[in-house]
Amino acid sequence: MKKILKSLPLLIVIVFTLFLTSCQKKDIEKEEKQNVENTTPLFYKISKKDSDINIYLLGSIHAADKKIYPLNDTIMSAYNQSDYLAVEVDTIALTSDMNLQISLAQKMLYTDGTTIKDHIGEELYDKMVAKLKEKGSYNSMYDNYKPAFFESLFENAIIVDANMDANAGIDMHFLKLAKSEQKDILEIETAESQYDLLLSNPIELDKMLLEGYVESYDESISEMQDLYSAWKTGDADELEQKLMATSSEDLLPEEIEMIENYNNALINDRNYVMANALEKYFSEEKNVFCVVGVGHVVGNQGIISLMEQRGYNIEKLN
């Protein structure tokens, strides 16, 4: 089956942000004493001729474990030298904005009196609920929510079963650190834009995604663990293969087109938004440490490739 890039890039962190709490400096220091692994993730320095401005780009994974902290000296030195931290979305700030949380939650709800079962059908609904109950992740009140919410429930359960934690993800780690040090934080996107993207799927695609979670749950755990291992070694080719590998076996042409449109919207289109943001930082003469999902970094349409095409100097660090 063709590889579908799931909603992990930030939906998990946003949907479940209500249970994430801001962290005091002592929590960061506690994390930094726990490193038992040497990690060398994809990390780049982006510069421009006749400019003293540097932007550092770290390919992130949004769920991890505390064994990788502290990150290596090359990464932390670049972070300390930078005046700003840039992330896709400041999820910690979201936890303190109750009005925005309510607004985003309302986007997830059906308001026409229907439930998830009415949209995905009884057979898939029953299989989905059975799997979520097995994982202790189901409540009957959830039936009022749209498919993207259930996709995030599955992603969260997979993270737990893979022995990982969204609270230990790279984005969250640097957000906590920046908050504790009062470093300025820049948002490349907004929570609203990410929600709108993930809620824009045609129902047939959502049904394919949910079917995939139900039928290939254990496989998804292994895939997440393998991706994490590849992330820790910083092997760009392996990461690209794991993230982008596709096949069209057993799919109709219209299904293939639908999935390609989804993958483009989720990754490639956003890559241009992110590359434009980095160019804006250069024009504003901001030295920035930027953390975005590693899927946005690799590939011939990834941020690094786009910035190189635009004439910027790229140096791979680590």
pLDDT one-digit tens code per residue, 232-255: 999 999 998 888 765 556 778 888
- pLDDT tens by residue, 256-305: 888 889 889 989 999 999 999 999 999 999 999 999 999 999 999 999 99
Res. 131: pLDDT tops 50: yes
Q: Quick one: three-class SS letters along the chain?
A: CCCCCCCCCCHHHHHCHHHCCCCCHHHHHHHCCCCCCCCCCCEEEEECCCCCCEEEEEEECCCECHHHCCCCHHHHHHHHHCCEEEECCCHHHHHCCHHHHHHHHHHHECCCCCCHHHHHCHHHHHHHHHHHHHCCCCCHHHHHECHHHHHHHHHHHHHHHCCCEHHHCHHHHHHHHHHHHCCEEEECCCHHHHHHHHCCCCHHHHHHHHHHHHHCHHHHHHHHHHHHHHHHHCCHHHHHHHHHCCCCCCCCHHHHHHHHHHHHHHHHHHHHHHHHHHHHHHHCCCCEEEEEEHHHCCCCCCHHHHHHHCCCEEEECC
pLDDT of 249: 67
Mean pLDDT, rounded, for 190-201: 90
pLDDT tens for 136-176 read 999 999 999 999 999 989 998 999 999 999 889 999 999 99
Place of tokens 């790229």: 314
Residue 15 has pLDDT above 50, yes or no: no
- Residue whose token pair is 């230990």: 168
- Range 59-82 average pLDDT: 95
CB 76 within 8 A of CB 70: yes
pLDDT in tens, 290-300: 999 999 999 99
Q: Give the closest residue to 88 by CA, choosing from 277, 262, 302.
A: 277
